[in-house]
Amino acid sequence: MLATFDGTWVRLGNEGRTLYEQGGYGRVERTGLRLAPEEALHLMERGKIEVKDFGYDTLLGLFAGQPNFIRRYLVYRDIRERGYVIQPGPHDFRVFRRGHKPGAGKSRYLIRVLSERDLIEFDLLSRDVLTAVNMRKQYLLAVVDDEDELTYYEVRVQDLAPVGEPAECSTPVQASLFGTYALAHLPPGTPLEEDWYGKRLDPERLLLRPIESIYLLRRQCLTITRDGEPMTTEQFLDAAAEKDVEIREKERVFSDLREKGYIPRTGYKFGHHYRVYSGKKTHSEMLVHAVASGTSIPMSAVSRSVRLAHSVKKKMLFACIYNTDIRYVEFARIKL
The residues that are catalytic are: 277, 283, 314
Asked if 205 and 184 touch (Cβ cutoff 8 Å), the reply is yes
**β 50-51/10-12 pair status:** unpaired
Helix residue ranges, H only, 109-177? 122-134
Residue 128 contacts residue 91 (beta carbons within 8 Å): yes
Q: Which residues pair with 86 in a beta bridge?
A: 95
Distance CA 316, CA 308 (A): 9
CA distance 222 to 181: 13
Please name the residues in contact with 314: beta carbons below 8 A apart, sequence gap of 6 or more: 270, 275, 284, 285, 286, 287
Distance CA 108, CA 110 (A): 7
